Amino acid sequence: MTVFVCSSYANCDVEVPVVAIFTKFDGLVTTAFNELRKERKELTIKEAKNMRFGRAKEKLNTNFIEPLMATRFRPSDHVRLDG
């Protein structure tokens, strides 16, 4: 938010490092598991559990990290918090 506020002023020449923190990754893992079970009925529960983290990482990248990195004032880095 500091970068956004600063960017609204024409004479602002301050650079502020921003780090994006993604919380609730475990919720995305649960969603990924449920999607896998719904989309691929042939998967066993064990197979879906093994695939859920990969699907959750894909969703995190596609839905959050890539759009964030495409912004004008993108963060210097990001952190994902698990459970």
16 in any annotated domain: no
Spatial distance between the Cα atoms of 81 and 83, rounded to a whole number of angstroms:
7
64 in any annotated domain: yes
User: pLDDT digits over 2-44, tens only?
Assistant: 444 455 555 556 677 788 888 889 999 999 999 999 999 999 9
Contact (CB, 8 A) for 1 and 57: no
48 in any annotated domain: yes
9 in any annotated domain: no
Number of domains into which the chain is organized? 1
Of the pLDDT bands very low, low, confident and very high (cuts 50, 70, 90), residue 1 is very low
15 in any annotated domain: no
Q: Which domain holds residue 79?
A: 27-83
83 in any annotated domain: yes
Q: Which residue has the higher pLDDT, 82 or 70?
A: 70
